[in-house]
Amino acid sequence: MSRILVLYTGGTIGMDHTPEGLAPVPGLLPRLLQRFERPGLEFDIVEFAQLIDSSAITPRQWNEIIDALVSRYAQYDGFVVIHGTDTMAYTASVLAFALQGLAKPVVLTGAQLPLVHPRSDGWANLADAFEAACQPDLHEVAIAFNRLLLRGCRARKLDVEHFDGFNSPNAEPLAEFAIHAHWRRDRWLKQDGGWRPQRVNEELKLAALMLTPGYGSAWAGRALQSGELDGAIVLSYGSGNAPADPALLDGIAAMTARGCPVLTLTQVVKGAVEVGAYAASQPLARAGALPGGDLTPEAALAKLHVLLSAAPSAAALREALACSLRGEITL
């Protein structure tokens, strides 16, 4: 017998047509989920008081999800988090870093078409999410979508039209669902240490700045120099290259001097930042930016947010950023 807790936060999957367009309808999804009742599976549903389109998510909702899960952690064998697809990769990444020492499955899912639509992809996604949440040796946060199980802190939303909305460009899937479920257990994380979940600091000011040719790098530099940010991600070109724009480099140096991390990622979907591959990657590193390897922007933001929430020493922060905490980066 598996006991699963379903946390329903909102998203297309439970939406219906309203005069304003698609919107979440309270009570609808819990009613539809009755279809999954079967011998050997018991589940309870917590419907959040404010069901949201996930584009509206903030650190406050991340804490609500963390609190809901942590307060019932001992009572259930696994967790399914129903979430909008727009920011599912951010929430999955935050949970991956916040739920330290996780020893149960936490599986996020949603849909491109609502369950009330005759061609909804939501039924298959939910079925796969339940199945994954019943695997006692899955000790990580994953996304079940379009017949794949992906590591949450590796996943990205890559398509708004087709049902293969998610993939993890720099990591192999954790499972593939066909006639049989093909569990790739050799890729699963091992539990690390005791259960020590952490909430996030809702006041932190983090941002990702995408470089664009022309004024874009100066603009990013001004944002970094404003003194407003607690940490930032610079989305550079190719394998970590950027123009040696003094405004950008001064911005990075100013952040670094204040003890606020700046991570360099690539704008490219697949591949990693590699300092030294090109001379054009060196100025960012010399100014103090830390190479983020093949972290996704979602995972990088989540990692910074969770790490900074614990107010670490500068040395501890650098060390944590350089290593793989939850399988989020290829070393």
Smaller CB separation from ligand ASP, 55 or 267: 55
Give min distance, CB of 124 to ligand ASP, in A. Answer: 15
Handedness of CA 59, 145, 191, 131 (dihedral sign): positive
Smaller CB separation from ligand ASP, 162 or 184: 162
85 marked as part of a ligand binding site = yes
Binding positions for ligand ASP, rule: CB under 6 A: 10-12, 53-55, 84-86, 110, 112
Give min distance, CB of 115 to ligand ASP, in A. Answer: 11
CA distance linking residue 103 with residue 82, whole number of Å: 20
Smaller CB separation from ligand ASP, 117 or 222: 117
Smaller CB separation from ligand ASP, 57 or 308: 57
Q: Cβ atoms within 10 A of the Cβ of 73, count?
A: 17
Which residues 6+ apart lie within 8 Å of 77 measured at CB? 2, 3, 4, 104, 133, 134, 136
Smaller CB separation from ligand ASP, 24 or 251: 24
Picking from 119, 56, 117, the residue whose alpha carbon sits closest to that of residue 90 is: 56
Picking from 274, 278, 279, 232, the residue whose alpha carbon sits closest to that of residue 251 is: 232
Give the residue at shortest CB distance from ligand ASP: 84
Do the Cβ atoms of 104 and 238 come closer than 8 Å?
Answer: no
Give min distance, CB of 8 to ligand ASP, in A. Answer: 12
Give min distance, CB of 162 to ligand ASP, in A. Answer: 12
Burial class (CB in 10 A: 0-12, 13-18, 19+), 190: exposed
109 given a catalytic annotation: no
12 given a catalytic annotation: yes
Residues, the chain: 331
Q: Which amino acid is at 270?
A: K
Q: Treating both helix axes as pointing N-terminal to C-terminal, what angle do 59-71 and 88-98 enclose, rounded to 10 degrees? A: 50
53 marked as part of a ligand binding site = no
Give min distance, CB of 128 to ligand ASP, in A. Answer: 16
Among 12, 87, 91, 266, the active-site one is 12
Which residues 6+ apart lie within 8 Å of 14 measured at CB? 8, 24, 25, 28, 29, 32, 51, 82, 114, 115
Among 9, 58, 85, 87, the active-site one is 85
Q: Residue positions in the annotated binding site for substrate?
A: 54, 85-86
Active site residues per annotation: 12, 85
Q: Residue positions in the annotated binding site?
A: 54, 85-86
